[in-house]
């Protein structure tokens, strides 16, 4: 009867595991098949001082310069609402258009399945190679403050859109406009470009701010444009081959600073995001039919860089060896201490479990950094420790060690001391007692602690980021990959790694439950 019940339980567990894995796969496929699902993100616009950009073009954003050049330019203002808006134009007149343009008048709109290209049948041009940067940076570039900047890559895009909650400024290079037949003064051309950019922007928002129906649109072909006290500098290159889109106030200061000098009467603005694209001919826009879900899945899986998985497994596998040995040694060491000293060392060994991982990482950085004696010694022997793969192992060991230590100590303390004393009276050495009695009798708890420590090391993020950094193929583990893929706007990839880590965690929990049931069954059989 008992064996039949155990078999039924095992079969039920297998079915449950199968159903869970199937649900995870179905969830991942749903996100792949329906990539346009909007995710709630209250902080999608980011903090202006955040050095990390969620651009699909780059992992980090820099700062660009506030040019004092006030050369003449041609600007066109296409507004969705009545009212006036100040446009400063040195040497020319701004064309202000009131009222909205009927979107049906610009022909049918086609958007590619990958949301990177769009075209309208009413105009001879189209948009291609679309990307979006959710967050810019206020950091200095080339030793000077350049304003709030979006990093556009190593190639200057022919179309740039910078958005605020109230308006959007669209830059189209004069060379691309002349080549592809975009007329800045033609209302239908502006309406078509607005329709294409708006559709691609919404499709790539990933929960971020989108351009609304009341957004005021400004169009320009000049690299400098001013509106409402904000000066936009497009396609800026500061000598390092990197292209930036920069926004300053009229004095070259921080337009986003809420405490800035408002003597010019202009209020600070919040920049929501930037978009980049290439203006191409109508026939050059790659508008391919939507692939099947199998093709989407295959293409998605083939596009993923799996190095975070290998780095995570390598790091966790190496770390668990140190955790196992050090945890058993620390637990056995505490058994021989007096109650007072046992409490002291117990606090030392357990404190990484209660401290935030970022605090642990910061402490490790202070102790092992390149400016410390230990860090300089490692550098002198040709083995720099910080921001290397061994640093990921150290971080994982520190944060996961307490789980192994607590499990092993609890198991050792639960053993019958009379039995251990009897073994000593028989002449057994401490090593023999440990390996022949303590370890086998405590193995179930030790195994559970090992698995839990493995899971904790697998999911370590804060300490690893502090001590090892984010280097693809070297120190980027799955948790770090999830964070930076999401920050870079690659939500599908972040979801994939989330499913992977959830599957690992699920298997760990199942293993612990099965192991615990096997241990209980073994003990019941031994007592009969």
- pLDDT at residue 20 in the model: 56
- pLDDT at residue 275 in the model: 95
- pLDDT at residue 314 in the model: 93
How do the domains of the chain map onto residue ranges? 75-290, 304-488
| 317 beta partners | none
- pLDDT at residue 260 in the model: 59
- pLDDT at residue 140 in the model: 87
Phi then psi for residue 216, to 5 deg, are: -85, 135
- pLDDT at residue 277 in the model: 95
- pLDDT at residue 516 in the model: 65
Dist. CA 35–CA 493, nearest whole Å: 11
- pLDDT at residue 213 in the model: 82
* Residue 118: CB atoms within 10 Å: 25
The rounded average pLDDT for each run of 10 residues, N- to C-terminus, in the chain (528 residues) is 48 56 54 40 34 34 31 38 37 34 64 88 93 88 89 93 94 94 92 92 86 90 91 92 92 80 64 94 81 78 89 93 94 89 92 91 89 85 86 94 93 89 89 89 87 89 90 91 86 91 85 70 54
Handedness of CA 237, 238, 241, 245 (dihedral sign): negative
- pLDDT at residue 397 in the model: 95
Write out pLDDT tens, residues 408-430: 999 999 888 889 889 889 889 88
Dist. CA 175–CA 350, nearest whole Å: 64
Quote the distance between the C-alpha of residue 8 and its chain's center. 43
- pLDDT at residue 528 in the model: 54
Dist. CA 128–CA 523, nearest whole Å: 67
* Average pLDDT of the chain, as a whole number: 78
- The CATH number of the structural domain formed by 304-488 is 1.10.3720.10
* Residue 345: CB atoms within 10 Å: 14
* Backbone φ/ψ region at 318: left (φ over 0), alpha (ψ -120 to 50), beta: alpha
Dist. CA 504–CA 316, nearest whole Å: 12
- pLDDT at residue 15 in the model: 55
Distances (CA, A) of 467 to 18, 213, 375, 460, 482: 38, 46, 12, 12, 18
Phi then psi for residue 421, to 5 deg, are: -65, -35
Helix (H, G, I), strand (E, B) or coil at 356: coil
Q: DSSP for 68-108?
A: -------EEEE-SSSS---EE-TTS--EEE-SPPPGGGG--
């Amino acid at each position: 009867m008992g064996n039949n019940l155990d078999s039924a339980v095992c079969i039920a567990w297998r079915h449950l595991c199968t159903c869970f894995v199937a649900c995870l796969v179905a969830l991942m496929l749903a996100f792949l098949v329906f990539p346009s699902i909007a995710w709630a993100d209250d902080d999608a616009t980011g903090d202006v001082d955040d050095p990390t950009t969620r651009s699909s073009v780059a992992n980090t954003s820099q700062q660009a310069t506030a040019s004092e050049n006030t050369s003449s330019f041609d600007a066109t203002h296409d507004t969705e609402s009545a009212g006036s808006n100040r446009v400063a134009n040195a040497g020319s007149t701004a064309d202000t258009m009131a009222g909205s343009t009927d979107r049906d008048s610009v022909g049918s709109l086609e958007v590619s399945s990958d949301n990177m290209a769009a075209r309208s049948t009413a105009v001879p041009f189209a948009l291609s190679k679309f990307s979006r940067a959710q967050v810019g940076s206020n950091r200095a570039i080339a030793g000077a403050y350049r304003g709030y900047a979006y990093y556009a890559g190593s190639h200057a895009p022919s179309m740039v859109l910078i958005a605020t909650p109230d308006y959007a400024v669209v830059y189209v290079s004069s060379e691309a406009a002349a080549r592809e037949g975009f007329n800045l003064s033609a209302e239908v051309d502006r309406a078509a470009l607005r329709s294409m950019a708006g559709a691609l922007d919404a499709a790539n928002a990933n929960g971020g701010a989108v351009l609304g129906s009341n957004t005021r649109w400004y169009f320009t072909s000049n690299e400098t444009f001013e509106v409402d006290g904000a000066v936009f500098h497009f396609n800026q290159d500061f000598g390092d081959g990197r292209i930036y889109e920069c926004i300053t106030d009229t004095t070259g200061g921080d337009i986003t600073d809420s405490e800035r000098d408002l003597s010019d009467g202009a209020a600070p603005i919040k920049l929501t995001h930037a978009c980049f694209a290439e203006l191409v001919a109508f026939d050059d826009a790659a508008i391919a039919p939507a692939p099947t879900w199998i093709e989407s899945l295959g293409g998605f899986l083939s596009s993923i860089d799996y190095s975070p998985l290998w780095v995570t497994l390598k790091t966790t596998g190496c770390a668990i060896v140190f955790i196992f040995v050090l945890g058993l040694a620390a637990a056995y060491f505490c058994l021989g201490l007096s109650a007072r000293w046992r409490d002291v060392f117990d606090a030392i060994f357990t404190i990484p479990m209660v401290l935030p991982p970022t605090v642990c990482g910061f402490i490790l950085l202070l102790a092992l950094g390149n400016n410390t004696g230990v860090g300089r010694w490692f550098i002198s022997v040709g083995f720099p420790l910080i921001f290397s793969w061994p640093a990921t192992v150290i971080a994982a060991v520190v944060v996961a060690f307490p789980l192994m230590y607590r499990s092993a100590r609890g198991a050792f303390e639960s053993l019958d001391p009379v039995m251990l004393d009897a073994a000593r009276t028989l002449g057994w050495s401490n090593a023999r007692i440990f390996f022949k009695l303590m370890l086998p009798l405590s193995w179930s708890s030790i195994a559970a602690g090992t698995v839990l420590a493995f899971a904790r090391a697998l999911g370590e993020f804060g300490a690893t980021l502090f001590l090892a950094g984010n280097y693809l193929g070297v120190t980027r583990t799955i948790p770090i990959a999830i964070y930076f893929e999401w920050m870079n706007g690659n939500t599908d990839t972040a979801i994939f790694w989330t499913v992977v880590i959830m599957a690992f965690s699920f298997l760990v929990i199942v293993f612990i439950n099965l192991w615990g049931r096997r241990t209980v069954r073994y003990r019941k059989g031994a007592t009969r």
